[in-house]
Homo-oligomer: A and B are copies of this chain.
Amino acid sequence: MSLPFTVLILLIFSSYFISLAHSKFARLAISPKTLIKNTPDGSTQKVDESGLQMFYFNQTLDHFTFRPESYMTFQQRYAINSTHWGGAKANAPILAFLGEETSLDSDLSGIGFLRDNGPRLKALLVYIEHRYYGKTMPFGSAEETLKNASTLGYLNAAQALADYAAILLHVKEKYSTKHSPIIVIGGSYGGMLAAWFRLKYPHIALGALASSAPLLYFEDTLPKFGYYYIVTKVFKETSERCYNTIRKSWKEIDRVAAKPNGLLILSKKFKTCAPLNGSFKIKDFLDSVYAESVQYNRGPSYWVTKVCNAINTNTYPPNSKHDLLDQIFAGVVALIGNRTCYDTNMFAQPTNNNIAWRWQSCSEIVMPVGYDKQDTMFPTTPFNMTSYISGCESYYGVPPRQHWITTYFGIQDVKLILQKFGSNIIFSNGLSDPYSVGGILEDISDTIVAITTKNGSHCQDIGLKSKDDPEWLVMQREKEIKILDSWISTYQKDLRDLNISN
């Protein structure tokens, strides 16, 4: 964020940050320190009373080359709930959640869309863990799997999509249903995967719900405003005063840091668990506090309001014992809670998931998130592709292929291309989600549609249903389900018209 970064630290910071900002459950993520071992293929385990079962699929390591090494297999975890399924004879649908950069457990606990709507659609529910995340470690242990570019090299979106294709065909075979339509669902990076899956495997997925998928956040399709534009906008709309306090705080941090013992003063001010070795540490930490507040700003917590209330309450001079940085710190406490000390690295832990995601963002998912414009509450520091690339290259020994995503998935001129190609995709975005700047926000055709909500945050629509959900969220989900339902009915009619049966 600020000045004294080495390239590598910037890289690690930003990729970690993207990782966390990306993950819908980042703040709840557990860091598994122990090595993860795969259990044998086909083993099943009752997970809960709802009928959810866990499986492991014997997955091909490399779908796209046929070298002897490519034939290695690994155990990929997935879960099925068949309780409400209408069966093969009825060509009842399959809702498939395509995992993103987190463990299946997180998705199972946090994704509500499938279980909330499965019974109504009489759907078979499938959840698949993304390769290299959770318990799906192609080289056995996480340590071995995440070691270097030679092992990580098999971790990318195209391979992940081919994994999903193989598992979904396997599931259809297992349930002897040749023509049950599959709807794929995903959020954030997983939302990109869902949309891409429909585009690349239309013979496997009938349609896709891509929630909060920043498909246009790549070098060739750079959005006009960046991630931090929305972060700022939401803070400003919540409280202009709060926004102004934050905006002023960066210079104040620099001013204090420049004093003799300045870093020590800052350490004490922010109760850091370890002494600060640079003011950037506290700035990056605060950046994450604000970004996370906005990205996951939803009921019952509404983090931005909480953070701003705390900042605004601890009023600034004159006539107060609190200074500006105390206000800022109060915002931190409002988000994270009272702690004896605060770990400035807490948003950038080297968890297995973060290590895997860093590789992805250093190889193909190069999203140029920077502090681009003067109209954010952050000091302007545009994303620097050159230093990003050289940072990744020096870390992994191989450079990112930063044009590969747009070469393979190609979302440039999206309206021009997709208005006459493809069908059955919903792009849903909350416009208060910072990643919505890279989302598809307008209808492309009759069947490739955008659903936006003014107040929605990141992936809110596919989260757990709650009695306290605002009306607009209930309506949004209802609209989504109705569209999915119409795809399914049309397809079932097509099957009859074409005289196709299982």
Contact = CB atoms under 8 A, between A and B. Distances in A.
Interface of A: 60, 62-68, 70-71, 149-150, 152-156, 158-159, 162, 165-166, 169, 179, 199-204, 363-364, 397-399, 401, 404, 407-408, 410-413, 415-424, 447, 490, 494-495, 498, 500
Interface-centre pick from A66, A416, A422, A423 (highest chain B CB count, 10 A)? A66
B408 A153 contact: no
Given A416-B494, A416-B498, A500-B416, A407 B65 contact: no
Contacts of A158: 64
B423 A67 contact: no
A228 to B, nearest CB: 29
Given A66-B153, A200-B200, 20 more contacts: A60-B401, A64-B158, A65-B154, A66-B152, A66-B155, A66-B156, A66-B364, A66-B401, A67-B154, A68-B153, A70-B153, A162-B407, A202-B417, A202-B421, A203-B411, A204-B410, A416-B500, A420-B490, A421-B422, A421-B424
Total identical chains? 2
Give 3 closest A-B pairs by Cβ, nearest first: A203-B410, A67-B153, A64-B64
Nearest to A60: B401
Nearest to A149: B68
A87 to B, nearest CB: 20
Nearest to A157: B64
A71 B398 contact: yes
Given A202-B421, A407-B165, A65 B156 contact: yes
Contact of A169 (B162, B407, B420): B407
Contacts of A200: 200
A284 to B, nearest CB: 27
Nearest to A168: B407
21 contacts: A60-B401, A63-B64, A63-B404, A64-B159, A65-B153, A65-B159, A66-B152, A66-B401, A67-B149, A67-B154, A68-B150, A71-B398, A71-B399, A165-B408, A202-B410, A202-B418, A203-B412, A203-B413, A420-B423, A421-B424, A422-B422
Contacts of A398: 66-68, 71
